[in-house]
Structure formats: structure tokens, C-alpha cells
């Protein structure tokens, strides 16, 4: 059920979840780009401090530069607050939408899906995987923002000095390429972490639900051993994920190696009088600012790879065919005549539980199904409200094939007491009145 998608396709599909909030996301991107664009003036201001104020002793220009600096700092701070607000709001809303979509989809999946998955696995879809997907949405957004910031900064660098821009390109390419080089190991490590978390979730659910049975067998220590072993495995997987992810940090190391070379060339130009100290400082700062969005994109790309495994599982679940549709005849008032005609059913194709079953029950007639455990009594009853569909044959209620009836309409007229009753949180009365809140218990 996990989809085989590349990181680029995952990012595009995750960004598609922002569709209801494109206006807000675009506003956030504009505010962020404006904030970072304004911040790019700071190296120029610093260069002017060195050349005009300290070099030429221009006291009047000092107050101008201080005012400019204060204005940039204040505006950048305010726009940062706005960006943080927009990011939090967009991320929270998209995570909420994704969790609702997953839970809604789960409600219409057939009982066979729940037979093949543990409660812990299903809970991981709703909680862990959707949280990972939401992290992927945030990472994808920051990659887009970092790309915009890099383009703006690169344009400024080329505007300041074209040779400076050309000098920076090899080092920026190294920062971009290394995360791509380690993409597959990061994805595999992230997949293992998610699998271990799902395993722990399943084990915890089973252990808590089966507390009475565990106590009766005296297996408390054995159960704790299982949980402890699973947690140790998870820790090892997370450490491996962190180590492999840290290898992508070689990009900044390669970039930093360019600084001594730039100091050598730039320092010689300052000594020869080709450029001023202020210009050299400004150029150094612009080179550092040029790599900042790349570092951010690099870190967010690593998060996207880690979140991508959870996103794949979410997308795979949403592609699962919801066979429980609400099509069919509504407005029915069933009298209770039931007829099975050569019905065959099995939970798997090779082992039928029921085979060529034919019988008829009249309205008001009391019928008891008798047989040994595993004979198919509960299975037969589960076919009437269409929890499962027969492999062969037909089931009729009031001479109507139940496959033609609306599921909600059919089940609303069938009272069922299951072999293992489940009580929801709340009082017994609330459980009895469930679905009929206006009626008295």
C-alpha cells in the first residue's frame, strides 16, 4: 500500500495539499522574500561603515547608516513574526485536513482492511504518518522559499561583482549535490524508523488491550521485555538515521573551504589597492549569505526525505479502494424476510467458511444458528449487514438483493449484538442511545 514516489513527486503532491490555502501561502512567500531581500542590504551598510565612516571619517553619514540599519532590523523582525504566524497557521490547517481525510477514508474502507491491519498500524496512519506528511509539507515550502531567496541573493552578488558570482558557483553546486548523493540511504533509514514506530504502536495497543490475559498468564515481564527490545531497536534505527543524515552536512564543509581561497584572492586585491576593505567585507558577507538559503534547503531536503516515507504510506492508504459506498436504494422499511441462495464466502479464496448455503427466514421467525466454534455462524450473520460480500450467490431481504440497498439505510434497520461487545467512552446509557441521541434509553 506504500507508493513508489520520488522526492520531487512527493514534494509536488504534498504542496498540492496547500491548494485550499494558496492565497495565504503566496502571501507568506511574498512576506518572507521581502524580509530576506531587505536583509540583503546589511552587507552594503557594513561596507559603507568601513569605507565612509571609519575610512573617510564621515560623522554625518554615520547617523544615516545607523538609521538605515535600525529600519532594516525592525522591519525584518516584524516580517519574521508575520512569516512565523503564517507558517504555523498553514501547517496546522493542512495537518488537520490530512488527518480528517485519512480518518474519513478509513471509515469507508471494508472490514477486510481492518482484518489485515492491527489497531496500532491504523493509528500510525492517522497520527505518525500524517504528522510526517505535514513535516514534509513544511519542508517543501521552505525549499521553495530557500530557492527564491537563493535566486535573489545570487542576483545581488552578480550585481555587486560578476566575478564574485562566478567564483561562488562551484561551491554552491557542491552544497546542492551532496544531499542528492545521499538521498537513497536517508530514505531507507527513515523507512526503517517508521516501521519500528509502527511496530511499537501495535505492540503497545495489543499489550494494553490484553492486560487481563497477560496478567492471568503471569507474562508481565515477558511483555516488558518485548517492549524494551522494540524500543532499543527504534533507538538504533534513529541513531542510524541521524548519522546518515549528518553526512549531507559535508556541503557546508566544502563551501567553507572556499573562504580561505577567497581571502587569499581578495586580500591580495585589498593590498594592491584594487578594492577597498569595505568592499572586501561586503563581498565576504554576500558569499556567506548566498550559502545560507542553500544550507536551509539542504536541511529541509533531508527532512523531506525523512517525511517522504510517511507521506508515501498516507498516499498509499488514500489510494485504497473504499468499497463501502453509499449508493443504492434508500427510504426502505424492511419487514425482515431473509433468504440466502447458494451463498459461498471465505476470508481468503482458497478456504471457504460458508459453501453453497441456502435457507429462508420469515418475518418474526426466531432462528438459532447452532454449530461448533469456527463453523461460520458469526460469519453468516456478518454477511446480512454487508460487513463482507459473498464470494458467490445472493442474499435477499424482503425479496431485494442487499447489494442494491444503500448501506446506511440497510444497517440502520438491523440490530446487532456482537459476540465481543465494545463499549465506547461514556456511560452505558450513552452507548445504548448511540446514533439515536434524541431517544430515551
* Cell reading at 401: 438483493
| Confidence (pLDDT) at 253 | 64
Question: Residue 331 domain-assigned?
Answer: no
| Confidence (pLDDT) at 297 | 79
Helices 183-209, 220-247: axis angle to 10 degrees equals 160
Please state the rounded mean pLDDT for residues 384-407.
Answer: 88
pLDDT at 176 over 80: no
Question: In whole angstroms, what is the distance from residue 171 CA to residue 304 CA?
Answer: 23
Please state the rounded mean pLDDT for residues 49-68.
Answer: 85
pLDDT, tens only, 235-285? 888 888 788 777 666 656 666 666 777 778 878 888 888 888 888 888 888
Question: Residue 369 domain-assigned?
Answer: yes
pLDDT at 190 over 80: no
User: What is the number of structural domains in the chain?
Assistant: 2
pLDDT, tens only, 95-126? 888 888 888 888 888 888 888 887 777 888 88
Helix (H) or strand (E) holding 354: strand 354-361
pTM: 0.67
* Cell reading at 56: 573617510
Q: Are residues 295 and 368 in the same domain?
A: no
Question: Residue 425 domain-assigned?
Answer: yes
In angstroms, what is the C-alpha Rg of the chain? Answer: 32
The CATH number linked to 84 is: 1.20.1560.10
Question: Residue 164 domain-assigned?
Answer: yes
pLDDT band at 3 (very low <50, low <70, confident <90, very high): low
* Cell reading at 405: 440497498
Mean pLDDT of the chain: 81
Q: Are residues 309 and 364 in the same domain?
A: no
Final residue in a domain of this structure, among 319, 346, 369: 319
Please state the rounded mean pLDDT for residues 72-80.
Answer: 88
**Alpha-helical runs (H) found in 273-330:** 277-319
pLDDT, tens only, 295-339? 787 778 777 777 777 888 888 888 877 666 667 787 778 888 899
- The residue assigned the cell 508515501 is 312
pLDDT band at 286 (very low <50, low <70, confident <90, very high): confident
% of the chain beyond a pLDDT of 70 = 89
Helix (H) or strand (E) holding 345: strand 338-345
The CATH number linked to 343 is: 3.40.50.300
Amino acid at each position: 500500500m506504500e507508493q513508489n514516489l520520488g522526492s520531487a513527486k512527493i514534494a509536488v503532491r504534498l504542496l498540492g495539499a496547500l491548494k485550499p490555502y494558496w492565497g495565504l501561502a503566496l502571501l507568506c512567500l511574498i512576506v518572507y522574500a521581502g524580509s530576506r531581500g531587505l536583509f540583503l542590504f546589511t552587507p552594503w551598510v557594513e561596507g559603507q561603515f568601513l569605507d565612509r565612516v571609519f575610512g573617510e571619517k564621515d560623522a554625518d553619514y554615520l547617523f544615516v547608516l545607523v538609521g538605515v540599519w535600525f529600519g532594516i532590523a525592525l522591519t525584518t523582525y516584524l516580517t519574521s513574526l508575520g512569516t512565523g504566524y503564517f507558517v504555523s497557521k498553514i501547517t496546522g490547517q493542512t495537518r488537520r485536513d490530512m488527518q480528517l481525510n485519512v480518518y474519513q477514508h478509513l471509515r469507508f474502507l471494508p472490514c477486510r482492511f481492518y482484518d489485515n491491519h492491527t489497531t496500532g498500524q491504523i493509528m500510525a496512519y492517522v497520527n505518525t504518518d500524517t504528522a510526517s506528511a505535514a513535516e514534509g509539507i513544511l519542508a517543501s515550502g521552505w525549499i521553495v522559499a530557500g530557492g527564491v531567496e537563493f535566486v535573489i541573493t545570487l542576483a545581488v552578488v552578480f550585481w555587486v561583482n560578476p566575478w564574485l558570482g562566478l567564483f561562488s558557483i562551484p561551491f554552491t553546486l557542491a552544497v546542492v549535490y551532496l544531499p542528492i548523493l545521499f538521498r537513497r540511504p536517508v530514505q531507507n533509514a527513515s523507512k526503517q524508523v517508521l516501521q519500528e514506530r509502527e511496530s511499537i504502536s501495535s505492540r503497545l495497543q495489543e499489550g494494553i488491550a490484553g492486560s487481563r490475559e497477560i496478567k492471568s498468564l503471569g507474562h508481565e515481564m515477558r511483555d516488558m521485555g518485548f517492549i524494551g527490545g522494540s524500543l532499543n531497536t527504534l533507538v538504533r534505527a534513529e541513531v542510524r538515521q541521524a548519522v546518515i543524515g549528518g553526512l549531507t552536512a559535508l556541503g557546508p564543509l566544502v563551501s567553507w573551504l572556499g573562504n580561505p581561497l577567497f581571502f587569499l584572492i581578495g586580500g591580495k586585491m585589498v593590498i594592491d589597492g584594487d578594492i577597498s576593505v569595505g568592499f572586501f567585507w561586503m563581498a565576504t558577507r554576500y558569499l556567506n549569505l548566498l550559502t545560507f538559503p542553500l544550507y536551509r534547503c539542504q536541511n529541509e531536503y533531508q527532512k523531506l526525505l525523512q517525511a517522504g516515507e510517511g507521506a508515501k504510506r498516507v498516499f498509499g492508504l488514500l489510494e485504497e479502494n473504499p468499497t463501502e459506498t453509499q449508493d443504492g436504494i434508500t427510504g426502505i422499511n424492511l419487514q425482515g424476510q431473509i433468504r440466502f441462495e447458494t451463498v459461498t464466502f471465505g476470508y481468503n479464496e482458497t478456504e471457504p467458511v460458508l459453501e453453497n448455503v441456502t435457507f429462508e427466514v420469515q418475518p418474526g421467525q426466531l432462528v438459532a444458528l447452532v454449530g461448533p466454534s469456527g463453523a461460520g455462524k458469526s460469519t453468516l450473520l456478518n454477511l446480512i449487514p454487508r460487513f463482507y460480500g459473498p464470494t458467490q450467490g445472493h442474499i435477499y431481504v424482503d425479496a431485494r438483493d442487499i447489494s442494491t440497498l444503500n448501506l446506511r439505510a440497510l444497517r440502520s434497520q438491523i440490530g446487532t449484538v456482537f459476540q465481543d461487545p465494545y463499549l465506547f467512552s461514556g456511560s452505558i446509557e450513552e452507548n445504548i442511545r448511540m446514533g439515536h441521541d434524541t431517544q430515551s434509553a
